[in-house]
Amino acid sequence: MSDDDMDVEEQIAMLNKSLALQQRSVLQYALTAGSIVGLEFQAHARTLHDFAGAELDDAVRLVEKITALGGDPTTEAAEPDWTGDPVEQLDKLIEAERETLETLQASIDPTGREAASEAIEHRLEHIIMRKQEQVDYLLRAGRRPDG
């Protein structure tokens, strides 16, 4: 196999690892959106709900790629983390999403340089971009103005 060829087995394994974390993202955003309390955080509940939907959409896209490559998608989800403290919960979301972002980025390595490979790489880059924008939102939401 040349460097231009996709390592299909490794690609499926990495996509499944990403899928387990992606499924956790769906759960963690849903838990946070439905349970976040406090006047200043209620304004974020709808946005977090929307993020959960976007996470679900991308989980479906990962499943589609795994099955298109001939693999079986994992039914396992990484364990979500939750706390009733909204500030701590935002921190947990940020930490979990950073782990998922790193795994998605690592999933690009085995893609190769074929047309199908480029499509997977491009899809992963879009998921990464969207997720990073969500993390940026969470980082801004957790900041407090000086003074």
Q: pTM (2 decimals)?
A: 0.92
Across the chain, the runs of DSSP E, i.e. the strands, are none
CB neighbour list of residue 109: distance below 8 Å, 6 or more residues apart:
10, 14
CA distance 116 to 119: 5
Size of the chain in residues: 147
2 in a domain, yes or no?
Answer: no
Q: How many domains does the chain have?
A: 1
pLDDT digits (tens, 9 = 90+) for 54-77: 999 999 999 999 999 999 999 999
pLDDT digits (tens, 9 = 90+) for 112-143: 788 888 889 999 999 999 999 999 999 998 88
* CATH number of the domain that residue 50 is part of: 1.20.1260.10
147 in a domain, yes or no?
Answer: no
